[in-house]
A and B are shown apart, each in its own frame.
Chain A
Amino acid sequence: MNTVQKKILSLTAIVLFIMVAIWFILTYYNQKMQDQYNDILQRYLQMNEVSASSQQLVTSLNNYIQTPTPSKLSNVEGDRQRLLNAQLQIADLRNNSNHFTLTNYLNLIDSLVDSTNRSIRLLNEKNNEEALNDFTEATRLSKYISEMTLTLLGTELQTYDQFYRGMIMQSVELKKLGVWMLALFTFLLLLFTYWFSLSITRPIQRLTQAARELSRGRFDTHIEIYANDEISFLAKTFDRMRININNLISEMQHKAQLESELQKNKLLLQESQLRSLQSQINPHFLFNTLDTLSKKAYLEGSVETSDLLTSVARLLRYNLKRLDRPVTLYEEVHVLREYIFIQQTRFTERLRFEEEVDEACLYVQIPGLTIQPIIENAVIHAIEPLEEGGMITFRVRDEGPDVIIEIEDEGSGMSEEKISQIMEERFSSQEGDGHSTGIGFGNVINRLRLYYGREDVMAIQSEVGKGTKVILKLPKEREAG
């Protein structure tokens, strides 16, 4: 996982690496130069050492000749050894251009040592004059050595001239390189750091922006952050939270809507009940009276009138009792038949009623007085206005999880506009007028919807002049809620 910490660490590592690399390169070259300088100085020092030690040898030899004591002799010996050591070292300094001179130089040293030795020997042999001669020669040779040292140094300078100049130029260039490298890497690092910090702060900024949006109540903006670190994780979680909140809010809104609709419908129901109470001052009295009338008609031999009165009484009773409780479809169909009987008595031949009922579906529970108003509506609109009457077909059939109830008439039908008006309950509440039970079409729709909690419980198929078909789709199992 690529974390912010890892990013910071890697940046630090890169910076560190570059710094160390530069440091190494520069130090390496400086060291190399220093070594070269040291070598050169070493050469000069060695040459100078020969010159100095040869002079020293001559001096101590002189002292020894003045007063020949063993300690002075050992001085001479020491100086001679020193000179020979220096000679040994200087032999390694040979190169192409000083080859000849260096050989001469080494031989000169040998000659000096020889002269010294000879001088000491002669002195020991008490041959003072010859010893002095050799001493003079040694002095001269020492002088020549010094001169030749200068010559050698001169040659050295000439030989190394190009090299020295190169070194100076290189050190200047190295300095320049250091400056340029510093500038370049500073620039690159600045850029890189900027880019890098952006890669951390930009997602945070966007997250902040998203949080601000959220706090202002805008829950529908999608939060998307392309990054490969914790910020991205944070953003994802934040987005999920936003979606959850969004869902919860919409659910709440939905519930509130349902609640308000329920309230509205309750009011509607109460109103209609009140109205029915108003219009029917004493339904029981009316019902009892109708019963009495029926019996009386029966006793008087008017069986048809008696049956009609019984039907009216039953319809009335059903109307009174079963309004706010679910009933079975069976009861509804039963009541429907009573109503049709009454209406057939009224319209005689004009009303033709056909029913195709699947008895197996009649156990389904539905709100009371839902089908009768629809039939009544059909009677009002498709039978009453027409002199020749019409046919009303009632079907109940099983269709999978639903029970389908169709009420079809052959009336004048209605326009699309009107259908949508009905479906959207834009009909005034006065539409209950003219109905025997006081319950209108809109009321039925509302109750059905409330009862099943579904919008598609009723559909109307109609065309002007071609009749109307109302289809109720009732689920066998009532959904919860």
Chain B
Amino acid sequence: MRKLVIVLLSAICMILLGFTLSSFIHVFHYNLSAPSNMGSANKSGYRLILITQEMDTPFWDKVENGAAKAAAKYGAELEVWGSYGTNQEDFLKNMEIAIASKVDGILVQGLNTDEFNQLATVKAAGNGIPIFTIANDVPIEDSLRRTYIGSDHYKAGQMIGTQLAEDLGHKGKVVLMVSDRQEDFQSKRLDGILNILKFYPDIEPITVIAGDTREKVVTATNEIMNKEPKVAAFVSVTANNASAMVQEIGKRAQLSRFHIYSFDDSPEIKTLLKEKKMSGIIEQSPEMMGELGVQLMVQWLQGETFPLKYEGYYTDIRLLKADELS
């Protein structure tokens, strides 16, 4: 009996001790160390900001990746700010904050508006902050941008134009769908196409100005198809209008009747291309844009690359044709 009591008591003792110990270990297990403050010490790297209007699009994701890679390589600090769905107000606000934050350099998707140019010329240049446009350019006279990194849109237009002429057999009506925004890249592309097409007098280009939204694109497509039933080819000059346009054309007629071209290489468009609903697209090199942009910025800030080429640094472009894909 006495033995039983002793065993029982020591068992209780051991259990309690075990729980206490495990609890003790738990408490000390949480080795709480607050993220350490760095004090006011500044990091030496350049503070760069990449601002876009089209956050989280596949294209800009790639630009970001490339930029991040280059930033890591050159020891710069990079932050990506952006607005969604081409929200100009947010975009301009980001620009202003970036300038007011006195960053070392701004890589920005060009936007050819007065506000943008005002910010770029007065604020940024006034504060001595270099602005590189990336992917989309703005005219240097308006914006005082240091350089441009991205595709040569004029050349892209020419490539499409050449291909178009070839596919149409030098005659037919071509609809050139543009956005109502006067973007620099758009006008360059248009210039490129028209410059080629003017060598082919039988080809009649029809420039259609559609809005930004899907509905407007659909309406504009409908109107032009009603007006000009014998259109042989469509070119979506702006990036984001192609899918809406293709969809609308597909509703009205057989897609294979038309030659459809786009400057966009989003996955949606690529799918359409694979399904042979489109004839050709221009493929750009977004990653290279980001990489080259950061690299040039750092080098310029360090005084290694000087002077910069004002007309810009062009990244690779390639014409993808539906026939070649399969």
Q: Which residues of A contact B (CB under 8 A)?
A: 29, 36, 39-40, 91-97, 99-101, 103-105, 107-108, 110-112, 140-141, 144, 148, 159-160, 163, 166-167, 169-170, 173-174, 176-177, 180-181, 183-184, 187-188, 191
Contacts and interface: CB of A to CB of B under 8 A. Distances in A.
A191 B42 contact: no
Contacts of A177: 20, 23-24, 26-27
Contacts of B77: 99-100
B27 A170 contact: yes
B47 interface: yes
Q: Is the interface of A mostly helix, strand, loop or mixed?
A: helix
A180 B30 contact: no
A176 B23 contact: yes
Nearest to A141: B100
Interface residues of B, number: 35
A108 B40 contact: no
Nearest to B34: A163
Contacts of A173: 23, 26-27, 30
Interface string B1-37: 0000000010011001101100110110010111111
B34 A160 contact: yes
Nearest to A33: B32
A92 B24 contact: no
Contacts of A110: 102
B252 interface: no
Given A103-B47, A110-B102, A96 B35 contact: yes
Interface of B: 9, 12-13, 16-17, 19-20, 23-24, 26-27, 30, 32-43, 47, 77, 79, 93, 96-98, 100-103
A148 B96 CA distance: 13
B286 to A, nearest CB: 23
Given A174-B27, A180-B20, A166 B32 contact: yes
Q: Which of B17, B24, B30, B102 has the most CB of A within 10 A?
A: B30
Nearest to B39: A92
A19 B12 CA distance: 21
B101 A93 contact: no
Given A94-B38, A101-B79, A104-B98, 13 more contacts: A92-B37, A100-B77, A104-B47, A107-B100, A107-B103, A173-B23, A173-B30, A176-B23, A177-B26, A180-B19, A183-B20, A184-B20, A191-B9
Would you list the 10 A-B pairs with minimal beta carbon distance, nearest first? A104-B101, A107-B102, A111-B100, A177-B23, A91-B40, A184-B16, A170-B30, A180-B20, A173-B26, A94-B38
B79 A36 contact: no
B20 A104 contact: no
A161 to B, nearest CB: 10
Contacts of B42: 103
A160 B97 contact: no
Q: Which of B13, B23, B102 has the most CB of A within 10 A?
A: B23
22 contacts: A29-B27, A36-B32, A94-B37, A95-B38, A99-B38, A100-B47, A101-B79, A104-B101, A111-B102, A144-B93, A163-B33, A163-B34, A163-B35, A166-B32, A167-B30, A173-B30, A177-B20, A177-B26, A177-B27, A183-B20, A187-B12, A187-B13
